[in-house]
Amino acid sequence: MPSNLKNNAGSWLGARHGRKEDSRLVVGEGQYISDIVLPRMLHATFVRSEYAHAKILSIDTSAAEALTGVVSVVTGADIVDELRAMPQPVLLPNLPAKYPTFYPLSVDKVKFHGAPVALVIARDKYIAVDAAELVAIEYEELPVVVDPEAALEPDAPIVNDDHDHNEIFSMTFTGGETESEQESNAKAVEEIFKTADAVIKERFRVHRTGVTPMEPRGALCSWSDSDGLTAWITTQRPHIDRLALADLLDIPASKIRVIAPRDQGGGFGVKAPFYRENIIIAHMARKLRHPVRWIESRHESLMNVGQERDQIHYLEVAASKDGKLLALRNRGIADTGTGETGVYWGFVMPFLGAVEMPNGYTWDKADISLRAAVTNKACLTPSRAFGNLPPRFAIERAIDMVAHKIGMEPADMRRKNLVSELPYTSTTGEYFDSGDFIKVWDNLISQLDLVAFRKEQAAALKRGQYIGIGFGTGVELSGVASELMVPMENQPGYGAATVRLDPRGKVQVFSGDAPGGQGHETTTAQVVAHAFGINPADTIVTTGDTGTTPFGSGTIGARAGSYFMSAVHKACTELKIKIARILAHDLSIEANVDDFNFTNGEVIYRSDPTKKKKFTEIAERIIMHPINMPEGEVGGLDATAFFEAAKPMICFNADFCIVEVNPTNGEFKIQKWVTSEDVGNVINPLIVDGQMHGAIVQGLSNAVFEQFIYDEQGQQLTADFENYKLANAADMPDIQITYAPTPCPHTPLGTRGIGEGRPSSVPGALTNAVCDALTPFGIEITELPLRPSSIWKKIQDAKN
């Protein structure tokens, strides 16, 4: 793909280096959880509820237990005295919420269609599936609530019996900490709205959709009295899973090892929570003294996880007649489902979305609040664009609507209101550490001639063609600092890496985070190669094994490019200092690390290039021959480093797309999609391009194709790919990725992370383009998904 980013000459940083991971993956030599087989391994299958809300009157497991090959059938009643209930402290955010109490299997009642009710364990996975169908369950149906606004009504059916209402979380994010401060702020905002030249007030709705990894979840657990529990789990956060399993199973953490398989077919946030299924699989492995494996089916996956977004926003924007954004007022409502997912509880995503709602625009005042409701749906789980996609859709649409109202070019209005000087603190208190939003925007606009486009648009309309352009922007977290992670998830945000040299000058890097296909092995090897002056092929990366890696909070929030790579660089720098000190001693010179060049596999004394040593030779000397060393120095080349930025860090992006809409049927085609990205200094443009392509495709798929649908009885109707439509390659436009980088001053390499939040600006930009194309009809779209049928109906309503 075309790019305006140039490689850094003579450096592995900025090089379009081919992915190290791909060679094994394309020939089928990747190791996924289904590839891991242990002796005496048993297979588990869950029996899941057919109802969204019902009392469990009885469970008859006798027929299943009688089937040859069945080892055990377990129900919720069997485990309540054997396991601790959720929640546990390690899984609780430091946020005031009504956390539900629940077990790995439903006890007494089920709360959503697909809830786990029983577990069958057999010697063969096919026997386990057959036996699961023999488990007979008698239910008494209860009233169902699947609409979040209805769930917040006083007379709504109660989802979680340990609470007296369905509001799991609420917060006001603006005005101050006290109620009086918030009320004073609300009054000030109201005064702005009373006198503003232009005001828009709309209800925006984003449907329940999310992300669908190629590989569903899975767990394989093994127990021995000597070593304890070893658990292979498809997870982005093995170290967090280890702590949670220790607490819930009452096992010392020292007796638990969690390993994320080397390869995972995508995560995108879905594999970040701590799930109930992993608890019961680990428990049964210990109880039966056999390895037990559970591999989630695609049906189970679509029933239980990957569901996010699902927010309503009553949004108001006030502006002056010259296009200055003055005030923002929003009442957000989120449908969290049952709220029964460890770490995130369904509401943490909407919480962050509310924090980041002002986006990269300046507002004199804002009044932003959120209410999160539990319903009889599967619990929301994290998805790429963590909580941001719905409020960002609302904001980007609202800005276009204001521009239409005052007769201003939407592109000009955005530039006028972008934050122009950083650092900056938003009206919700979000800190923007550095960057240049105007530079990113101007780079985007330089990719088209907007004046010429408007002329062509007018000419096309005379020919009966409806074309339009839409814009969107996004401030995204570049990693998540402990300052935010501790209150949001009760966990640290620092990055950690161990770098170890072997006697042949090869490098091993150990990371506690667990990637899911992003290319971390490649970019890590490039950072190491840049530091030591060696080839990336000389570096091996081990990830996600709590037995061998330093503690890591997980692959979340775009932490790799900012936090983890910074920790890798710090560890490499520590080793370079040691290498330089010993080499200077051996060469009988007074020198420090800055006096040496690490390049082309050699360590060279700058003042006298004849004084040098091969990198492999100095590594072998220090590790294998630690004699005649400098005073106080010992052998070995092994360093663990931690990185924490002084302040939270951000990245920024902007998009435009051009569409053509057919008014006779509402169908539209994306003719062009262009982005402008600030990811700081780019380690590998090939990797970043891939991340951006994937994020935009996910955003478009969410906006147009995907939708989890529940009927009035809470039945999930979209638990297969026949009914849950994903975008494919033929549906997608050509995507042009361009860059306007500003090096981050808070990371040693000037890098920023970006991949996590990137889809958030996509639905707004696309819908803005469709509305722009249909300007003659005066159409404003406020709900997703964006389907031809809904567009056609809008056109018909406008005609009438």
The secondary element (H helix, E strand) that includes residue 523 is: helix 520-532
Bridging pattern class, strands 365-373 and 325-335 = parallel
- Select from 521, 526, 515, 528 the least CA-distant residue to 558: 515
Q: Where are the alpha helices (DSSP H) in 377-436?
A: 389-406, 410-417
Give buried/exposed letters for 356-376 (b at 16+ CB in 10 A, else e).
bbbbbbbbebbbbbbbbbbbb
Range of the domain at 681: 308-481+647-799
Using one digit for the tens of pLDDT, what is the confidence trace for 507-540?
999 999 999 999 999 999 999 999 999 999 999 9
Last residue of a domain, one of 643, 676, 702: 643
How many CA atoms lie within 13 Å of 679's alpha carbon, on the beta-carbon side? 28
Instruction: Examine the domain organization and report whether 739 and 608 are in the same domain.
Output: no
In a domain, 552, yes or no: yes
Q: What is the CATH number of the domain that holds 629?
A: 3.30.365.10
Instruction: Examine the domain organization and report whether 334 and 394 are in the same domain.
Output: yes
Amino acid at 793: K
Instruction: Examine the domain organization and report whether 513 and 627 are in the same domain.
Output: yes
Give every residue of the chain whose pLDDT is below 70, as ranges. 1-10
Instruction: Examine the domain organization and report whether 600 and 587 are in the same domain.
Output: yes
In a domain, 154, yes or no: no
In a domain, 285, yes or no: yes
pLDDT of residue 5: 59
The secondary element (H helix, E strand) that includes residue 702 is: helix 685-704
Whether 487 and 95 have beta carbons less than 8 Å apart is answered as yes
pLDDT of residue 10: 55
In a domain, 176, yes or no: no
How far apart, in whole angstroms, are the C-alpha atoms of residue 710 and residue 425? 40
Q: Based on the structure, what is the number of domains in the chain?
A: 3
Amino acid at 19: R
Instruction: Examine the domain organization and report whether 617 and 686 are in the same domain.
Output: no
In a domain, 459, yes or no: yes
How far apart, in whole angstroms, are the C-alpha atoms of residue 659 and residue 470? 8
In a domain, 110, yes or no: yes
Q: How far is CA 570 from the centre of its chain?
A: 25
Bridging pattern class, strands 116-122 and 70-75 = antiparallel
In a domain, 566, yes or no: yes
- Select from 560, 491, 482 the least CA-distant residue to 527: 560
Instruction: Examine the domain organization and report whether 750 and 615 are in the same domain.
Output: no
Instruction: Examine the domain organization and report whether 573 and 651 are in the same domain.
Output: no
Q: What is the CATH number of the domain that holds 283?
A: 3.90.1170.50
pLDDT > 70 in the chain, percent: 99
332 Cβ contact partners less than 8 Å away, ≥ 6 residues apart:
311, 312, 313, 314, 350, 353, 354, 357, 368, 369, 370, 371, 391
* Strand arrangement of the beta sheet that strand 218-224 belongs to: 70-75, 116-122, 42-48, 292-295, 218-224, 228-233, 256-259
How far apart, in whole angstroms, are the C-alpha atoms of residue 500 and residue 757? 32
Last residue of a domain, one of 595, 624, 643: 643
Q: Quick check: bond before 515 cis, omega within 30?
A: no
In a domain, 770, yes or no: yes
How far apart, in whole angstroms, are the C-alpha atoms of residue 597 and residue 408? 56
Cα angle, residue 206 at apex, residues 203 and 210 outer, rounded to 5°: 165
Instruction: Examine the domain organization and report whether 426 and 537 are in the same domain.
Output: no
Instruction: Examine the domain organization and report whether 554 and 579 are in the same domain.
Output: yes
Bridging pattern class, strands 466-477 and 668-678 = unpaired
pTM score? 0.96
Using one digit for the tens of pLDDT, what is the confidence trace for 307-324?
999 999 999 999 999 999
Residue with tokens 């521009």: 403
How far apart, in whole angstroms, are the C-alpha atoms of residue 514 and residue 512? 7
- Select from 220, 275, 287 the least CA-distant residue to 250: 287
Instruction: Examine the domain organization and report whether 639 and 768 are in the same domain.
Output: no
Answer left, alpha or beta for residue 133, where phi above 0 means left and psi between -120 and 50 means alpha: alpha
pLDDT of residue 6: 54
Instruction: Examine the domain organization and report whether 467 and 350 are in the same domain.
Output: yes
Last residue of a domain, one of 643, 670, 690: 643
Instruction: Examine the domain organization and report whether 331 and 251 are in the same domain.
Output: no
